[in-house]
Every structure is written in structure tokens, then in C-alpha cells.
Amino acid sequence: MGTAYSVMWPEQSDVQPQDAKQKIDALLLNINAQMSTYQTTSELSRFNQAKAPYTQEVSPEFAAVLNLSSQIHSLSQGYFDISVGPLVNLWGFGPDKLTQLAPTQDQIEKAQSVIGLSAIELKGQALTKTADRYLDLSAIAKGFAVDEVADLLDSLGLNAYLVEIGGEIRVKGNKAAGLPWKVAVEAPDFSERRVQKILSLKDVAMATSGDYRNYFEDNGERFSHSIDPFTAKPVRHKLASVTIIDTNCARADALATAMLVMGEQKAKEFAVQQGIKAYLIVRNEQGFTEHLSPAFEGWLNP
């Protein structure tokens, strides 16, 4: 996944860290073997490489992520779209990172012609494409992996833990001394790493999507990794960071991405309509403005 993970739990447990680590590593290697765009032999890569029409039997986990991706795609009216892989690659944010230059309009239009989930169908575990498509699960698979590790820890009998993979988080219970887990939301600052807000978490998942870590500059213009499927270009608005609180980290991961692509106004309206716990950070000339959705405000101040 191109990142690191950490798992913590209070010392009052019979679970041995090394034993748990072996199980977690095996679990994450399996998820990579299913959904990685970096591994050419993964289920996802084999599907992407095959010419349409094509049907492939996929694992239950892969199918679960595809089903949730479809749900978030519909819920967000297309702002979350796992078929934007060709555009992600074209803009230099895919596994090859071939460019640090903005593509031409002709290149953009060519990549855009192979975008769209209408050519994808999942029946049970049979995944079919009727036209060539390249899927990218980067905006949801990491959150799914967090959920899977949490389920593993549940099976080991842990009643309190924190799981973090590349900044996506899920916690259960309290840490030592009955205190809540304290988790920082990073300020969307291009020049330095600093804390914007600290949240107290218990029995929830948290995911953040932002424009401030994965980007490149070309002729003084900054291009973020968040691609708008409607414009086929990186987002160009003032919404810099979206943090979502949910019970499911995969869902939080996907919603954070969708809302970051939407932009400030649409994201605010979407959060209200869907009752989403969302914390937005918006750029302005003075720095940043914070916005808490009603559901987030209610969760923060019950």
C-alpha cells in the first residue's frame, strides 16, 4: 500500500504482540494480493490487464470492496469513482509515477474515454467488464484493511485497541487508565507537518483525505492527487482536507475522498443530506477555516 501501519492496545492483555503481528502481516499481504495496483499479479491487476469483454472470479473481500464502492458512487452521485485509474496514472499519481508534468488535453480526453462504471458488473463474485476499464481501489482499500485488522483483533479477544494504516484509523474501547484514544488531524499545510485538531475517539473509525501531501508542481502550478471524474483533472478548489467519523473505516475512507473532490459547498450540503460526521478544513487568505457538519458537531458535543 506504499505506507506503514501501527497497532496498539493496553498492556492488560494476554495477546502476544509478535503473534498478533504475524497474523496482521499475513492479512495485509493477502489484501495486497487481492487489490494492489502495484503488484502485477494481484486480482485487481489481472482484471485491469485483461482485454474486454472479460469476466473474472474475485475473492469475497474484493467483491465486498467493489459493492461498497458502487454504493458510495451512487450515494455521491459519481464523485467517488474507482474507474478513474487511467486519469490517476496519467496525472502521475499511479503505481508508475511516470510524470511530474501536466498532460495535454488530447491525453486527458483519451484517458477520459475509458472511464465509467457502466461497463462494470459484479454478480456474486463474478466481475465483468464489457469495455476496457482500469479500476483503482486506493481510496477505499486502505480503510477496508483497517477494518479487517480490527476484526482480526476482535477475534483474538482484544476489547480495546487502535489500528492505523497510512493515517486511516479505527479504535475500540479505551486505552490505559480508561482514557479515550487521542488522535490528531493534521493541518493541510504544504510547508510543514503540524496538528490542526485533536479528537478523542472510542468505538469509531476515522479517515482523512487532503490535497497537501501527494502533489506535484509544474510551471508554478500545484496539482493534487485528487482527480475530479467530471473534469478529468485534479481538484482546483479551496477545500483542503476532509475528515470523516464513521463506524466503518472503508466507508469513511471513500466518503472523505468523494467529499474532497466535491469541494466546499457541495461537501457541506452532502454531509447535511446524508447525516455524515464530517470535519472540513478550507483554505483562505489568512490560513484555514474549519467547518463541522451538524452530525459531527453532535458527535463531538453529545
Tens digits of pLDDT across the chain (302 residues): 889 999 999 876 789 999 999 999 999 999 999 999 989 999 999 999 999 999 999 999 999 999 999 999 999 999 999 999 888 888 777 666 555 677 888 999 998 899 999 999 999 999 999 999 999 999 999 999 999 999 999 999 999 999 999 999 999 999 988 899 999 998 776 566 777 889 999 999 999 998 655 544 444 444 556 788 888 888 777 888 999 999 999 999 999 999 999 999 999 999 999 999 999 999 887 778 999 999 999 999 87
Number of structural domains the chain divides into: 1
Examine residue 76 and state whether it is found in any structural domain, yes or no: no
The region that residue 222 occupies, defined by phi over 0 for left and psi between -120 and 50 for alpha, beta otherwise, is: beta
Sign of CA dihedral 294, 265, 234, 46: positive
Q: Is residue 231 part of a domain?
A: yes
Domain assignment present for residue 104? The answer is no
The answer as to whether 279 is a domain residue is yes
pTM of this prediction? 0.91
Q: Check which CATH number belongs to the domain holding 265 and give it.
A: 3.10.520.10
In a domain, 295, yes or no: yes
Q: What are phi and psi of 20, to 5 degrees?
A: -65, -40
For residue 170, list its beta bridge partners.
163, 205
State which residues form the domain around 236: 175-300
d(CA 114, CA 81) in angstroms, rounded, equals 12
Does any domain span residue 55?
Answer: no
**What is d(CA 95, CA 48) in angstroms, rounded to the nearest whole number?**
13
Separation of alpha carbons 98 and 89, rounded Å: 8
